[in-house]
Structure 1
Amino acid sequence: MTFISDVLAAVGSLPKPLLVLVTGALVLGECTIGLGFLVPGESGLLIASAAVTDLGFFFVLAGVVAVCATVGDNIGFWLGRRYRLKMRETKVVRKLGQQHWDRAGQLLRKWGIGAVLVGRFLPVVRTLMPAAAGTSGMSYPKFAVSSLIGAIAWSATHVSIGWLAGASAKYIEDALGRTSWILMAAVVVIGVSIWLLRRRRGTKQPEAAAAEEPAKDVAA
């Protein structure tokens, strides 16, 4: 059995309830402000999703992940509502990056509740957006609905990607062999690294400017 198949087999051999529980816990941690920079929830979700073999397990995993993501959002929202503008100066926000907090505030001012949904798909901002929404004064019902819709879409998207990637990897590895697979993976890693570097350089100046303007209250 080849390397990728070994990894997928190891993940797939775990008891399904345990796999769902661990994945849900990772997602809850990533979506909860204060833990998001410690927990690799998105990576864990993609790996776990590679073990999906049928629609039944797909819906169970996606459903649990969506619920856990929503719970994490609610924790962040109420923390933001409690501490308001003081949140930006907390150790947690400084650790994650105040520029990301400001970006969340900019999205909220521009799109309102739509920013909660969009922010779900942005790394780091995903963790900070709920607290920023609470700080902005957004009404809880509007936040809750947008958070739930975003969580369902995000969960279904990532579980689908993981499922398809897991199924495709087996065929690709069989066709290319281990050496070719490693070479192809190296090319992908290099390409992604170059893309991230260019993206970082392109957003460096806007983020620096945004950091000078604290997040302001947004009408509900």
Structure 2
Amino acid sequence: MDSTSRLALASVFALAESGLGAGMFVPGEVAVLVLSAGTEGMRSLLLLFLVVAVSSSAGDHIGYFLGIRYGERLRETRLVRRIGRRHWDRAQDLFHRHGAAAVFLTRLLPVVRTLTPATAGVSSVSYVRFLPASLAGAAMWSALYVSAGALASASVREAEATITKVLWALSGTAVVLTIGIVWWRRKRRPAH
């Protein structure tokens, strides 16, 4: 897959993961892990990190602006009912306890992270307070999953190299043992 397609897919999955409700149906973390595992080079990984972070924050903005637009009526929507009102209530509770920082603090909590930006909008939090929390949370989320994918890929390559060395050593040992056994059997055979 070329780098442009990889970045576009990462952007779509990160946006969907953070966008209101879509994170329930689209495995954004898994996609970002897989896409980062297939990315080589520090420059490409940094670009992937940036795209994922910006797209993830854009997903937060969808929820935030929907919260501003629809207010408390969002809790009664079919989407929130499908996700679970208990998650909505948890997101609101966390938001009331922590303010805009909840957008950052809930970033690693599945389901709740998707709803917290909307609760910020419902609570009419100022954009000046929402934006840094969203950007910081999105950067943390992006760094975690892009790094994990890159590390997993590096570990697999290292494991593959080690396994290859072990297999060559075992193959060499098997050849030497086979030659030794054949030689030993011939030596022990009575002369005719």
Q: TM-score range by the shorter chain?
A: 0.7 to 0.9
The match for 1:72 is 59
Q: What SS is found at the alignment partner of 1:39?
A: coil
Alignment coverage as a number of residue pairs: 164
The match for 1:114 is 101
Rounded Cα–Cα distance in structure 2 between residues aligned with 1:111 and 1:103 = 12
The match for 1:137 is 124
Counterpart residue type for residue 62 of structure 1: F
The match for 1:81 is 68
Counterpart residue type for residue 91 of structure 1: R
**Aligned-CA RMSD value:** 1.5
Rounded Cα–Cα distance in structure 2 between residues aligned with 1:122 and 1:172 = 31
The match for 1:204 is none
Rounded Cα–Cα distance in structure 1 between residues aligned with 2:26 and 2:129 = 27
Runs (5+) with no aligned partner, structure 1: 1-13, 178-220
**Deviation of 1:43 (Å):** 0.7
8 A contact 2:37–2:151 mirrored in 1: yes
Of the two, which has the highest radius of gyration? 2
**Deviation of 1:172 (Å):** 3.1
8 A contact 2:21–2:115 mirrored in 1: no
**Deviation of 1:155 (Å):** 0.6
Q: 2:12 aligns with which of 10, 25, 28?
A: 25
**Deviation of 1:176 (Å):** 6.2
Rounded Cα–Cα distance in structure 1 between residues aligned with 2:69 and 2:124 = 10
Runs (5+) with no aligned partner, structure 2: 165-192
TM-score of the aligned structures, taking structure 1 as reference length: 0.71
The match for 2:25 is 38
**Identity of matched residues, %:** 43
Q: 1:155 aligns with which of 142, 161, 181?
A: 142
8 A contact 2:106–2:112 mirrored in 1: yes
TM-score of the aligned structures, taking structure 2 as reference length: 0.80
Structure 1 residue 99 corresponds to structure 2 residue 99: no
Rounded Cα–Cα distance in structure 1 between residues aligned with 2:132 and 2:120 = 13
**Deviation of 1:175 (Å):** 4.8
